[in-house]
Amino acid sequence: MKPKNLPREIYNPFTNRTRKGRFLLCKRLKLRPDNYLEEYCADLEVINIMAPIRPAEEAERCPQPSLSEEQEASEYLVARCKKIRTSDYMLFSSDALIHIASDSKASEKYTWLGERLRLTFKMMRSDSRLIRTMCHSHGLMQCSSKNPQVNVIWMGAPVKSVKMRELMPWQRLNQFPRSTELTKKDRLYENIERSKSIFGEAYDFIPEFYVTPRENQKMEIAFDRVLKEVTAAGGELCFPGEFIVKPTNSRQGKGIFFANSMADIPAEGPLLVSRYLKDPYLVNNHKFDLRIYVAVTSFYPLVAYVYSEGLARLASRPYDTSASSADSNEYVHLTNYSINKNSTSFVRNESMSSEDLGHKWTLGALLRYVENEGKDAKLLMLRIEDLIVKSLLSIQNSVATASRTTLRFACTNFELFGFDVLVDQALKPWLLEVNLSPSLACDAPLDSLLKTRLIADLLNLACVPLLDKKIIDSVTPALRKSMNASQDSETSDPDELELDPKCAKTLKRRPVGLKRSVLTKKIVSGNTSLIPNTEKKFDQILRKVELEEGRRGDFIRVFPRNGTWGMYSPVMEDLGSDDFDERLFAEVITKKNMKNSSEQIATSSSSSSSSHSTFSSSAFSSMRIEEVSDLFHDVMMECSKYPSLADVPIEVREIISPWYEEASEYTKKITQDGETYASKLPTIRSTARLRTKSCAEFYEVRKVQMAKKKEAEAVAAKENEPVVLQAVAAKRVV
Ligand SMILES: Nc1ncnc2c1ncn2[C@@H]1O[C@H](COP(=O)(O)OP(=O)(O)OP(=O)(O)O)[C@@H](O)[C@H]1O
Residue 392 CA, ligand 1 centroid: distance in Å:
20
Torsion 477-479-483-485 (CA) sign: positive
Query: With 80 as the cut, is the pLDDT of residue 197 above it?
Result: yes
Identify which of 78, 106, 90, 89 has the alpha carbon closest to the alpha carbon of residue 18.
Answer: 106
Residue 418 CA, ligand 1 centroid: distance in Å:
13
147: left (phi over 0), alpha (psi -120 to 50) or beta: beta
Among protein residues, the one whose CA lies closest to atom 27 of ligand 1: 252
Does ligand 1 have an atom closer than 6 angstroms to the CB of 156?
Answer: no
Tell me if 276 is assigned to some domain.
Answer: no
Please indicate whether residue 295 or residue 491 has the higher confidence score (pLDDT): 295
Look at residue 524 in the predicted model and tell me its pLDDT: 42
> What residues contact residue 699 under an 8 Å CB cut-off, 6+ apart?
691
Query: With 70 as the cut, is the pLDDT of residue 3 above it?
Result: no
> What residues contact residue 572 under an 8 Å CB cut-off, 6+ apart?
393, 396, 581
Work out which ligand 1 atom sits closest to the CA atom of 254. 21
Q: What domain count does the chain have?
A: 2
Torsion 9-10-13-19 (CA) sign: negative
Residue 335 CA, ligand 1 centroid: distance in Å:
7
Q: How far apart are CA 432 and CA 579, in angstroms?
A: 31
Query: Which is it for strands 243-247 and 271-275: parallel, antiparallel or unpaired?
Result: antiparallel
Over residues 151-174, the mean pLDDT reads: 91
Tell me if 722 is assigned to some domain.
Answer: yes
pLDDT band at 313, cuts 50/70/90? very high
Kindly state the percentage of the chain with pLDDT values over 90.
46
Kindly state the percentage of the chain with pLDDT values over 70.
76
pLDDT band at 722, cuts 50/70/90? low
Does ligand 1 have an atom closer than 6 angstroms to the CB of 435?
Answer: yes
Q: How many CB atoms lie within 10 A of CB 388?
A: 25
Please indicate whether residue 421 or residue 503 has the higher confidence score (pLDDT): 421
Query: With 80 as the cut, is the pLDDT of residue 172 above it?
Result: yes
Residue 350 CA, ligand 1 centroid: distance in Å:
25
Does ligand 1 have an atom closer than 6 angstroms to the CB of 389?
Answer: no
Q: How far apart are CA 412 and CA 298, in angstroms?
A: 9
Does ligand 1 have an atom closer than 6 angstroms to the CB of 252?
Answer: yes
Where is 508: in which H helix or E strand? helix 501-508
Among protein residues, the one whose CA lies closest to atom 15 of ligand 1: 253
Q: Mutation test of ligand 1: which of 432, 436, 443 has the most ligand atoms closer than 8 Å to its C-beta?
A: 432
Tell me if 201 is assigned to some domain.
Answer: no
Query: With 80 as the cut, is the pLDDT of residue 470 above it?
Result: no
Does ligand 1 have an atom closer than 6 angstroms to the CB of 253?
Answer: yes
What is the residue type of 426? A
Q: How far apart are CA 680 and CA 685, in angstroms?
A: 15
Does ligand 1 have an atom closer than 6 angstroms to the CB of 289?
Answer: yes
Work out which ligand 1 atom sits closest to the CA atom of 256. 21
Identify which of 686, 684, 682, 622 has the alpha carbon closest to the alpha carbon of residue 654.
Answer: 622
Tell me if 383 is assigned to some domain.
Answer: no
Does ligand 1 have an atom closer than 6 angstroms to the CB of 319?
Answer: no
Q: Mutation test of ligand 1: which of 331, 420, 443 has the most ligand atoms closer than 8 Å to its C-beta?
A: 420
Q: How far apart are CA 25 and CA 625, in angstroms?
A: 60
Look at residue 46 in the predicted model and tell me its pLDDT: 34
Over residues 668-672, the mean pLDDT reads: 85
Residue 214 CA, ligand 1 centroid: distance in Å:
22
**DSSP SS3 for 565:** helix
Tens digits of residue pLDDT in 379-417: 999 999 999 999 999 999 999 999 988 998 899 999 999
Does ligand 1 have an atom closer than 6 angstroms to the CB of 247?
Answer: no
Q: What is the rounded average pLDDT for all residues in the chain? A: 79
Question: What does the DSSP 8-state code read for residue 516?
Answer: H
Rounded to a whole number, what is the distance in angstroms from the first to the last CA of the chain?
A: 74
Look at residue 446 in the predicted model and tell me its pLDDT: 85
Tens digits of residue pLDDT in 424-451: 999 999 999 999 989 898 888 888 889 9
ipTM over 0.95: yes
Tens digits of residue pLDDT in 480-497: 877 777 665 433 333 333
311, β-bridge pairs: 291, 362
Work out which ligand 1 atom sits closest to the CA atom of 315. 31
Where is 187: in which H helix or E strand? helix 185-199
> Do 123 and 145 contact (CB within 8 A), yes or no?
yes
Look at residue 720 in the predicted model and tell me its pLDDT: 67
Look at residue 55 in the predicted model and tell me its pLDDT: 33
Tens digits of residue pLDDT in 701-713: 988 998 998 898 8
Tens digits of residue pLDDT in 545-599: 999 998 999 999 999 999 999 999 999 998 888 899 999 999 999 988 887 777 7
Look at residue 23 in the predicted model and tell me its pLDDT: 34
Buried-exposed string 588-617: b where 16+ CB fall within 10 A, e elsewhere: bbeeeeeeebeeeeeeeeeeeeeeeeeeee
Ranges 104-108, 130-134, 494-498, most confident = 130-134
Work out which ligand 1 atom sits closest to the CA atom of 207. 1
The values of phi and psi at residue 258, to 5°, are -115, 155
Among protein residues, the one whose CA lies closest to atom 19 of ligand 1: 253
Least confident among 285-299, 408-422, 493-507, 578-592: 493-507
**DSSP SS3 for 291:** strand
Among protein residues, the one whose CA lies closest to atom 2 of ligand 1: 276
Ranges 277-281, 353-357, 721-725, most confident = 277-281
Does ligand 1 have an atom closer than 6 angstroms to the CB of 335?
Answer: yes
Residue 252 CA, ligand 1 centroid: distance in Å:
8
pLDDT band at 112, cuts 50/70/90? confident
User: What is the SS3 string spanning 598-617?
Assistant: HHHHHHCCCCCCCCCCCCCC
Tens digits of residue pLDDT in 332-363: 899 988 888 888 878 877 766 678 778 889 99
User: What is the SS3 string spanning 336-393?
Assistant: CHHHHCCCCCCCCCCCCCCCCCCCEEEHHHHHHHHHHCCCCHHHHHHHHHHHHHHHHH
Tell me if 504 is assigned to some domain.
Answer: no
The values of phi and psi at residue 212, to 5°, are -90, 160
Among protein residues, the one whose CA lies closest to atom 13 of ligand 1: 334
CA distances from 636 to 35, 205, 386, 388 (A): 53, 10, 7, 12
Among protein residues, the one whose CA lies closest to atom 8 of ligand 1: 432
Please indicate whether residue 297 or residue 147 has the higher confidence score (pLDDT): 297
Among protein residues, the one whose CA lies closest to atom 4 of ligand 1: 277
Query: With 60 as the cut, is the pLDDT of residue 29 above it?
Result: no
Q: How many CB atoms lie within 10 A of CB 707?
A: 10
Residue 241 CA, ligand 1 centroid: distance in Å:
14
Residue 11's domain comprises 1-42+52-88
